[in-house]
Every structure is written in structure tokens, then in C-alpha cells.
Amino acid sequence: MLLLLLALGSQVPAPCLQAAVRETDAGWRAYRREAIGEAAAHFATADSLCPGDHVTQVGLGFVLLRQSQPGVAADRFLRALAADARDADAWYGLGLARSRLGQRAAAVDALRRTLRLAPAYADAEQRLLALGADSGLALPAVVRPAAPDVVARTAGDGFEIRTTDGWRPVYVKGVNLGVARPGHFPSEFPPDDSTYGRWLELIAEAHANAIRVYTILPPAFYQALKAWNDAHPDRALWLLHGVWTELPPRDDYDAADWKAAFRVEMRRVVDLVHGHALVAARPGHAFGRYDSDVSDHVLGFIIGREWEPFSIRTYNARRRGRTAFTGRFLALDRGTPADAWMAEQCDYLLTYEWAAYHAQPPIASTNCPTPDPPQGIRQRP
């Protein structure tokens, strides 16, 4: 603000400047306490004293947005930018106005300009992601550890976790974490970390030591999980993270576009548990900046869904000759075509995480009694 005042001081008479600045400051104070009408009056007075002041135009623009007048607001932000094209707040406001006017491409452009001027402008980044666009800025490079980072492993039929004293067996007492709340659709995730924090506290109080999530949750969940585990190392909750997908078209698991999209989701899940992902909005999916590294308590990944039997049967019939798989980390000597396909996808995820983060937890593909019923079990009459 000091630099702005000095710049304005060379353009307008000092008495006008001082009076306008007082009104503009009063406008922002009123705006921050939600007194929008009062803010509008102060900004209008400032504008009459010093017409064209870009700070005042920005204030008027945000007031007009709050008054549901995005078209007029856009004009105010454009006036501000005509006076100072490097005003990040003006570009952000213009992006909001364009978005509310349904001008997505123009909104994305304005928000990206905001981030080029102010890379740490979190609200602009969040708005961009909500529009289904990335920020246009690269994430910091991953520093791959020199030593392998393996915090959990399988041993026989069980799990072991690494401690300061070496590997220790752990009996997994897990909770499936479905996040649908009464009155909401399953994809309407709670946005605040306090909700997840309370759930994690209740789960830990029930003496569980692991949680399973089926799909990517909002960043608030991972923030809450990291906060819980950092604060309660003796009651830490291990994470089994799913990689969700819909069924492939015509039950063709080798369909190029569908398979590529599934692998993008795998990489996305790996990146976000390491706190290194920007996820743009998609219908029915969580999105945002994922910067909470929870990889130190990832017990494993579980890819896929409860695969429908008809879909698996169709694929097995189509690819009868495929009964084995050999990858970098996983191998299948003999199985069904679907088994071989699952092994291939699991190996892909492990290979990606190893290359990017030098880490490797256990992995599985989703299964359930419907496509794979237990044999020899009868219900007593």
C-alpha cells in the first residue's frame, strides 16, 4: 500500500489523495466485516474524490460481486487493470466476474494471470482448480530420497510396519471410511478438516489402527490425518488408499483411453499421499491443492472397485490366452486374464511410486465375495 500511495501521490493533489485513501481504507474495513452497503458508500466517495484510482476500482468491483452484479464488476476490474496491469487482486476479481458470467476461458486466463503475478495467491489457485483447470504453474520438483522409503510390508499372511527398533507385526483393525453424510450425495464430501478430525478421533477411540478410503477425498482429509498422526504417534492411523474407476466401455479393460485415464488416477493418488498434487475439479470428484504428506503412514494401495461379475466374465472370455504376467515388481505365474490385468496395473503403480518417490507400500486389487465367492462354505440351517 505504501508504494501505491507514493505512485498516486505523483498523479493527484495531496488533499484529494488523503481524503480518497481514508475513504478507500474505510471501505475495505467495512468490506471485511461484511458491511457491504457501507463499503459501497465509502468506495463510491473515494471514486468521486479521485476518479480512476485503481485500488478504489478493485474495491468497487468486489462490492459489486457481493451484490450479484458480475457484469458491472468486470468493468470496474478492467478500469483498475487499465491503470495498473500488475494488480493481482484486480485480475483475481476479473476472473471471478468472468466465471459468474459463464465466460470460462476468459476466467481461466484472468486467474492464471493472477498466479503469474502472485504465485502464492491460494484463492486464485483454488478457483482455477474448481473450474477444472490447472494453475499453469509447475509444482516444486520432487526430491527423491537416496534410500528406499518403505514403511510397511507384508510378511506371510500379515503386515509389518517399520519402527525405530526394526520391523514389527501389526494386526490391522480397520474402518472403511465412507464420507457420505445424511442429506448429501456420496460425492458431496465434507470440505473442512474439523469434520475429518472428529471422525479420526472417534475411529482411534474405537481402537482401530487403519482406515480405508475408496477414492480421493478433499485436501482437508489428508490435512486432518497428518495432524492426527503427528499429534498421536502412539495411536497413529494407517491409510489404505483406493484408486477408484468406473467400468470400461464394453468391458474392455485394455481400451486405450479408459486404461490411460485409470493410470492417471493411480499417479494422482500416489502424488497426493506424498503431498505433491494439484487436482482440478471433475464432476463427482474431490479437488484442490494436496500438500499434506501422509506417505509415512500408508499401509497400502487398493486399486479398482468391486468389479461386477458380468464384466470380469466378459473380459476373461475375450482374453483367454492371457494367464500370466511378469513386471518389474510383480509376477503372476498362472491365473485368469483379469488376474493378469490386475497384476499389470498394480505393477504400474508400484513402478511409478518407486521412480518418483523411491517408496513402495503393499498393494492389492479390490475384490469381494460377489465376483469371487468363497468355496465350500455353507450356512447352517
Domains plus CATH for the chain?
2-130 (1.25.40.10), 152-365 (no CATH)
pLDDT at 187 over 90: no
The more confident residue out of 250 and 50 is 250
**Parallel, antiparallel, or unpaired: how do β-strands 363-365 and 298-303 relate?**
parallel
Percent of residues, the chain, with pLDDT higher than 90:
80
Residue pLDDT, tens place only, 144-175: 999 999 999 999 999 999 999 999 999 999 99
Q: What is the largest CA-CA distance in the chain?
A: 96
Distant-in-sequence, close-in-space partners of 67: CB < 8 Å, separation ≥ 6 = 36, 40
Q: What is the per-residue pLDDT for 207?
A: 97
Q: What is the per-residue pLDDT for 372?
A: 67
Q: Which amino acid would we find at residue 29?
A: R
pLDDT at 8 over 60: no
The more confident residue out of 281 and 187 is 281
Contact 111, 91 (CB under 8 A): yes
pLDDT at 16 over 70: no
Query: What predicted TM-score, i.e. pTM, was given to this entire model?
Result: 0.84
Contact 281, 272 (CB under 8 A): no
Residue 298: name the closest of 89, 81, 149 by CA.
149
Residue pLDDT, tens place only, 348-366: 999 999 999 999 999 999 9
Average pLDDT over residues 169-187: 90
Q: 111-115, 229-233, 326-330, 367-371: which range is least confident on average?
A: 367-371
Q: What are phi and psi of 337, to 5 degrees?
A: -55, -40
Q: Which three cell numbers stand for residue 272?
A: 497426493
Residue pLDDT, tens place only, 52-110: 888 999 999 999 999 999 999 999 999 999 999 999 999 999 999 999 999 999 999 99
Confidence of residue 193 (pLDDT cuts 50, 70, 90): confident
Confidence of residue 179 (pLDDT cuts 50, 70, 90): confident
